């Protein structure tokens, strides 16, 4: 089989690349390891929340033209300026994110979403999970205001619809195994389709087939001991194939290889993601309650920052607890603030009218330790500072070894609810080094001719932590760049 550009993977980054390459006139073939029914990678498991620069309602209207006057009047959308995006990327990655990559991500975010809209992807304001009522307005609080219509499944459907309309071929059940090279230049991909080995020759290849989060052995090898015990939030197919293929071809390993995005995830969730549940196993409302371990003790500042800036690093903290679990505990005052994912059927929950009764119901937890911890926590809350979920309200504890810095409420109002979580890994941070054309860089610091990369397998953007909604944005931005570059390279390659 022959074409101009082969794209490996069929998630968000890959389809952005395929569409961009096709736009430049290239004949594009996409290889997807999953069967058609499971297509869409991690992108399909998402809520479709996507972090973009916008300087007010006028920018949002470029993405959501049918935003009504009434919605605009009743909503404080605020802004998310390029400066805010730069600050967030720098702060949460402890100033390690590669500035060139961050610049591409930030500067091209809005324009890339406008481009995707032109391809048929629809966007909405993320009212459900990113805004709270405050006075007579609904206020967005975390820099993450836009989501794809229909969430991850809607995004993937829209991208596949666009690919179909553009005549892009997608081969399902086709696992890329190795890059074909002629001297240094990449000339295509060797793949397996069932029991058959096939070769697809091309003038350029885009790798967009995810990180190594679903590879137990690599997780343990690179993230460290204990990571074999994490649950995988999304696809079972992202086992690091693209990274391995590129390293075999001389690519430079880059970024935070021992780092990953990992969250609080239902203790009894399956080993890999379940497409029927999507991201529903996550439990992200902990800023409004407390989190305790098997000793009944708090171990992390639940209110250190807005949830969008802490959730991706707190999965690791849960993994480090005895028996790798924790309980999130809430009282009646805040139950109405819990996100939709707390109300799914497949949830590990305990409910009681007294704290003593709840203590007996928390599987694996020392009841006496738990009651001691709650008493100390309740005494430490600054009740004189008003509670406000739309800002970092400074309503905090004082005098505790583990502080809670915002949104601290005493647990004193029945009913009490608790949710058991463990660590769910989302994606890995380490990967390949790319340049401004999304060309893969080799260990000598030179681009490998004909090889491009985008999405999770690009290293250098995320270290330690991650601002919510950036995964899809980076996939779209770098996918588009990689596809454009690959398409251009294909027209000149001999």
Ligand X SMILES: Cc1cc2nc3c(=O)[nH]c(=O)nc-3n(C[C@H](O)[C@H](O)[C@H](O)COP(=O)(O)OP(=O)(O)OC[C@H]3O[C@@H](n4cnc5c(N)ncnc54)[C@H](O)[C@@H]3O)c2cc1C
246 binds ligand X (CB under 6 A): no
10 binds ligand X (CB under 6 A): yes
135-174 residues near ligand X, rule: CB under 6 A: none
Residue carrying the six token digits 């096939």: 198
CB neighbour class for 236 (10 Å; exposed up to 12, middle 13-18, buried from 19) = middle
329 binds ligand X (CB under 6 A): no
130 binds ligand X (CB under 6 A): no
Nearer to ligand X, 291 or 454 (CB): 454
Output the DSSP codes for 268-306.
T--SS--TTTTTTTB---GGGSEEE-TTS-B-S-TTSS-
Q: What are phi and psi of 332, to 5 degrees?
A: -60, -25
Query: Among 59, 241, 266, 301, which residue interacts with ligand X (rule: CB under 6 A)?
Result: 241
Nearer to ligand X, 246 or 252 (CB): 246
Query: Among 27, 175, 372, 392, which residue interacts with ligand X (rule: CB under 6 A)?
Result: 175
Residue 198: how many CB atoms within 10 A of its CB? 15
313 binds ligand X (CB under 6 A): no
Distance between CA atoms of 253 and 135, rounded to whole angstroms? 50
Query: Among 63, 186, 208, 350, which residue interacts with ligand X (rule: CB under 6 A)?
Result: 208
Nearer to ligand X, 8 or 200 (CB): 8
Catalogue the E-assigned strands of 34-165. Answer: 49-50, 75-76, 123-125, 131-134, 137-140, 146-148
For the CA atoms of 218, 219, 223, 227, the dihedral, rounded to the nearest 10 degrees, stands at: -150
Stretch that binds ligand X, among 203-211, 291-299, 320-328, 393-401 (CB under 6 A): 203-211
Query: Among 5, 6, 14, 223, which residue interacts with ligand X (rule: CB under 6 A)?
Result: 14
Question: 3-class SS at 424?
Answer: strand
Query: Among 43, 308, 406, 485, which residue interacts with ligand X (rule: CB under 6 A)?
Result: 43
5 binds ligand X (CB under 6 A): no
Distance between CA atoms of 8 and 301, rounded to whole angstroms? 40
**328 bridge partner residues:** 291, 419
Binding marks (x or -) toward ligand X, 411..440, rule CB under 6 A?
---------------xx-------------
Binding footprint of ligand X on the chain (CB under 6 A): 8-14, 31-34, 41-43, 45-50, 175-176, 208-210, 233-235, 237-238, 241, 273, 279, 426-427, 455-456, 469-472, 475
């Amino acid at each position: 089989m022959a074409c101009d550009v082969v794209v490996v993977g069929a998630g968000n980054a890959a389809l952005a690349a395929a569409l961009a390459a096709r736009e430049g006139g290239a004949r594009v073939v996409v290889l997807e390891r999953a069967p058609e029914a499971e297509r869409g990678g991690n992108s399909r498991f998402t809520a479709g929340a996507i972090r973009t620069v916008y300087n007010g309602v006028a920018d949002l209207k470029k993405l959501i033209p049918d935003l009504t006057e009434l919605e605009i009047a009743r909503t404080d959308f605020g802004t998310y300026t390029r400066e805010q995006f730069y600050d967030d990327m720098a702060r949460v990655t402890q100033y390690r994110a590669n500035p060139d990559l961050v610049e591409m991500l930030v500067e091209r975010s809005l324009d890339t979403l406008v481009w995707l809209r032109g391809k048929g992807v629809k966007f909405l304001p993320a009212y459900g999970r990113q805004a709270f009522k405050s006075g007579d307005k609904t206020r967005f609080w975390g820099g993450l205001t836009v989501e794809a219509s229909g969430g991850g499944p809607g995004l993937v459907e829209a991208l596949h619809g666009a690919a179909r309309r553009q005549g892009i071929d997608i081969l399902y059940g086709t696992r890329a195994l190795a890059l074909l090279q002629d001297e240094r230049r990449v000339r295509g991909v060797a793949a397996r389709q069932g029991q058959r080995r096939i070769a697809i020759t091309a003038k350029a290849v885009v790798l967009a087939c995810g990180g190594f989060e679903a590879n137990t052995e690599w997780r343990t090898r690179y993230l460290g001991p204990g990571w074999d015990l994490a649950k995988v939030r999304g696809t079972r197919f992202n086992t690091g194939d693209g990274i391995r293929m590129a390293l075999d071809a001389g690519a430079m390993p880059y970024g935070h290889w021992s780092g990953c995005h990992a969250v609080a995830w239902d203790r009894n969730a399956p080993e890999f993601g379940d497409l029927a549940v999507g991201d529903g196993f996550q439990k992200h409302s902990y800023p409004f309650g407390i989190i305790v371990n098997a000793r009944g003790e708090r171990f992390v500042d639940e209110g250190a920052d807005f949830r969008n800036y802490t959730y991706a690093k707190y999965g690791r903290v849960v993994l480090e607890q005895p028996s790798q679990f924790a309980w999130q505990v809430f009282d009646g005052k805040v139950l109405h603030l819990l996100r939709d994912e707390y109300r799914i059927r497949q949830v590990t929950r305990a409910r009681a009218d007294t704290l003593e009764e709840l203590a007996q119901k928390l599987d694996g937890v020392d009841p006496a330790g738990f009651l001691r911890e709650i008493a100390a926590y309740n005494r430490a809350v600054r009740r004189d500072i008003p509670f406000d979920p739309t800002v970092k309200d400074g309503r905090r504890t004082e005098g505790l070894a583990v502080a809670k810095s915002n949104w601290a409420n005493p647990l004193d109002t029945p009913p009490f609810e608790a949710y058991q979580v463990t660590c769910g890994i989302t994606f890995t941070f380490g990967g390949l080094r790319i340049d401004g054309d999304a060309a893969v860089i080799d260990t000598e610091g030179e681009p490998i001719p004909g090889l491009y990369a985008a999405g999770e397998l690009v290293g250098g953007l995320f270290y330690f932590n991650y601002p919510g909604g950036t995964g899809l944005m980076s996939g779209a931005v770098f996918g588009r760049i990689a596809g454009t570059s690959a398409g251009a390279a294909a027209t000149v390659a001999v």
